[in-house]
Amino acid sequence: MIDFIWLIIALPLLSAVLLHFLGRYLGEPLSGWLATVAIGASFVFALVAALPFFEGGAEASTVPLWEWMPAVGASFEIQWDPLSAMMALVVTGVGTLIHVFAISYMHGDERFARFFTYLNLFVASMLTLVLAGNYAMLFLGWELVGLCSYLLIGFWFTRPSAAAAAKKAFVVNRIGDFGFMIALMLVFTSFGTLSFAGVFERAPEVLTTGTATAIGLLMLVGAAGKSAQIPLYVWLPDAMEGPTPVSALIHAATMVTAGVYVIARSAAIFELAPAASMTVATVGAITAIWAATIALAQRDIKRVLAYSTVSQLGYMFLAVGSTAYVAGLFHLMTHAFFKALLFLGAGAVIHAMNGEQDMHKMGGLLKRMPVTGITMGIATLAIAGIPPMAGFWSKDEILGAAFERGGWFSVLFVVGLVTALLTSFYMSRQWVLVFLGEPRWSEGVDPHKAPRLMGVPLIALAVLSVLGGLVNTPFRYTLEHFLEPVFEGISVQHPPEGIGMFLIVAGLSVVAGLVGAAAALVTYRQPASSWRRFEEGLQPLWGTWEDAYRVDDFYGRTLVAPGKRVAEVMAFDVDLAFIDGAVNGIAGFFLGLGQRLRPLQTGYVRNYAALLFAGAVVVVAWLLAGGGL
Partner 1 sequence: MVDPGLYMTVAAVLFFIGALGMLVRRNALVMFMCIELMLNAVNLTLISAGRAMNDLNGQVAVFFILVVAAAEVVVGLAIIVAIFRRRSTASVDELNEMRG
Partner 2 sequence: MQTPDVNWLAIAPDLALALAAAIILLVEVQWKPRARILGLIAAGSLVVASGLAVVQWLAAADAVAAGNVSVLSAFSGMVLMDGYAIFGRFALLVVTAMGIASGWQFFSDLGRRCAEGLALVLLATTGFSIMVSSNNLIMLFLGLEVGSIALYVLAGLTREDKKADEAAIKYFLMGSFASAIFVYGVALIYAGTRQLTILGIGDFLGSFIVGSPGVILIGIGLVIVGLGFKVSAAPFHTWAPDVYQGAPAGIVGYLAGVAKIAGFAAMARILLTAVDDFDWSFLPVISGIAVVSMLLGSVMALVQSDVRRMLAYSGVAHAGFILTGIAGSSSDGILFYLAVYAVQLVGAFAVVAAVSGPSGSSSDIGLYRGLSRRSPVLAGSLTVLLLGMAGLPLTSGFVAKFGVFSDAWFNGHEWLVVVAVLASVIAFAFYLRIVVIMYMEDDDAAPIAVPGLVRWVLGIAVLATLIWGILPGSLLNIVADALPL
Partner 3 sequence: MLTALILAPAVAAIVVALIPSRRAELHLPLGIALSMVPLGLAGYLFWIFEPMPGYQHATDAVWYEPWGIGWTLGVDGISLPMVVLTALLVPIALGASTSISKRIKEFVVFILLLEAGMIGAFLALDMFLFFVFFEAILIPMYFIIGIWGGERRIYASIKFFIYTALGSALMLAAIIGLAFNYSSQFGVTSFALADLMQVTLDQGTERWFFAAFALAFAIKVPLFPLHTWLPDAHVEAPTAGSVLLAAVLLKLGTYGLLRFNLALFPEASVDAVPIMGTIAVIGIIYGAVVAIVQPDLKKLVAYSSVSHLGFIVLGTFALTSGGLQGAVIQNFNHGVTTGALFLLVGMLYDRRHTKAIADFGGLQKVMPVFAGFFLFMTFASIGLPGLNGFVGEFLILIGSYATVPVLAIIASFGVVLAAIYLLWAYERVFTGEPDKEENKVLVDLSPREIGLLTPLAILVLVVGLYPAVLLDKIGPSTEAVLDHIESSTDFEVPYPGRLDDVFTAGGDS
Residues lying near partner 2 in the complex (CB under 8 A) are found at: 587, 590-591, 593-595, 597-598, 601, 603, 605, 607-609, 611-612, 614-616, 619-620, 622-624, 626-627, 629
Helix (H) or strand (E) holding 74: strand 74-80
The answer to whether the CB of 145 falls within 8 A of the CB of 152 is no
Minimum distance, C-beta of residue 582 to partner 2, in the bound complex (Å): 17
Helix (H) or strand (E) holding 367: helix 365-368
Side chain identity, residue 341: L
Segment 472 to 501, residues that bind partner 1, using CB under 8 A:
none
Whole-number Å distance between alpha carbons of 57 and 217: 33
Check binding of 181 to partner 3 (CB under 8 A).
yes
Check binding of 605 to partner 3 (CB under 8 A).
no
Handedness of CA 185, 189, 195, 201 (dihedral sign): negative
Query: In this chain, which of 10, 22, 164, 418 binds partner 3, going by CB under 8 A?
Result: 164
Number of Cβ within 10 Å of residue 502's Cβ equals 18
Partner from partner 1, partner 2, partner 3, none contacting 566, C-beta within 5 to 8 A by type: partner 3
Question: What SS3 state is found at 65?
Answer: strand
Closest by Cα among 47, 131, 142 to 93: 47
Which residues 6+ apart lie within 8 Å of 527 measured at CB? 437, 438
Partner from partner 1, partner 2, partner 3, none contacting 591, C-beta within 5 to 8 A by type: partner 2
Cβ proximity to partner 2: between 4 and 622 the closer is: 622
Number of Cβ within 10 Å of residue 157's Cβ equals 12
Query: In this chain, which of 3, 25, 55, 66 binds partner 3, going by CB under 8 A?
Result: 66
Helix (H) or strand (E) holding 79: strand 74-80
User: In which region does residue 229 sit, left (phi positive, over 0), alpha (psi from -120 to 50) or beta (all else)?
Assistant: beta
Check binding of 143 to partner 3 (CB under 8 A).
yes
Binding mask 598-617 for partner 1 (x = CB under 8 A): xx-xxxxxx--xx--x----
Cβ proximity to partner 1: between 491 and 601 the closer is: 601
Query: In this chain, which of 1, 48, 51, 185 binds partner 3, going by CB under 8 A?
Result: 185
Check binding of 190 to partner 3 (CB under 8 A).
yes
The answer to whether the CB of 228 falls within 8 A of the CB of 284 is no
Whole-number Å distance between alpha carbons of 558 and 186: 30
> What is the Cβ-side half-sphere exposure of residue 312, based on CA atoms within 13 angstroms?
38
Side chain identity, residue 308: S
Minimum distance, C-beta of residue 565 to partner 1, in the bound complex (Å): 48
Check binding of 115 to partner 3 (CB under 8 A).
no
Binding mask 214-253 for partner 3 (x = CB under 8 A): xx--------------------------------------
Q: Give the distance from CA 419 to its chain's centroid.
A: 20
Which residues does residue 477 pair with via DSSP β-bridges, in sequence order? 472
Task: Write phi, then psi, for 64 (nearest 5 degrees).
Answer: -75, 140
Count interface residues toward partner 1 (CB under 8 A).
11
Cβ proximity to partner 1: between 567 and 610 the closer is: 610
Query: In this chain, which of 27, 159, 410, 507 binds partner 3, going by CB under 8 A?
Result: 159
Cβ proximity to partner 2: between 1 and 624 the closer is: 624
Partner from partner 2, partner 3, partner 1, none contacting 463, C-beta within 5 to 8 A by type: none
Side chain identity, residue 479: L
Query: In this chain, which of 3, 55, 57, 70 binds partner 3, going by CB under 8 A?
Result: 70
Partner from partner 3, partner 2, partner 1, none contacting 615, C-beta within 5 to 8 A by type: partner 2
Segment 529 to 568, residues that bind partner 3, using CB under 8 A:
564, 566-568
Query: In this chain, which of 3, 55, 158, 598 binds partner 3, going by CB under 8 A?
Result: 158
Partner from partner 3, partner 2, partner 1, none contacting 559, C-beta within 5 to 8 A by type: none
Minimum distance, C-beta of residue 124 to partner 3, in the bound complex (Å): 10
The answer to whether the CB of 318 falls within 8 A of the CB of 416 is yes
Cβ proximity to partner 1: between 559 and 618 the closer is: 618
The radius of gyration of the chain's CA atoms, rounded to the nearest angstrom, is 30
Partner from partner 2, partner 1, partner 3, none contacting 193, C-beta within 5 to 8 A by type: partner 3
Which residues does residue 78 pair with via DSSP β-bridges, in sequence order? 63, 132
Check binding of 25 to partner 1 (CB under 8 A).
no
Closest by Cα among 394, 246, 387, 212 to 318: 394
* DSSP one-letter string for 448-475: -PPPHHHHHHHHHHHHHHHHGGGGEETT
The answer to whether the CB of 60 falls within 8 A of the CB of 486 is yes
Partner from partner 3, partner 2, partner 1, none contacting 459, C-beta within 5 to 8 A by type: none
Number of Cβ within 10 Å of residue 135's Cβ equals 26
Rule CB under 8 A: which residues touch partner 1?
Answer: 598-599, 601-606, 609-610, 613
Residues lying near partner 3 in the complex (CB under 8 A) are found at 66-74, 76, 136, 139-144, 147, 150, 154, 157-160, 162-164, 166-167, 170-171, 174-175, 177-178, 181-182, 184-186, 188-193, 206-208, 210-211, 213-215, 564, 566-568, 570-572, 574-575, 579-580, 583, 587
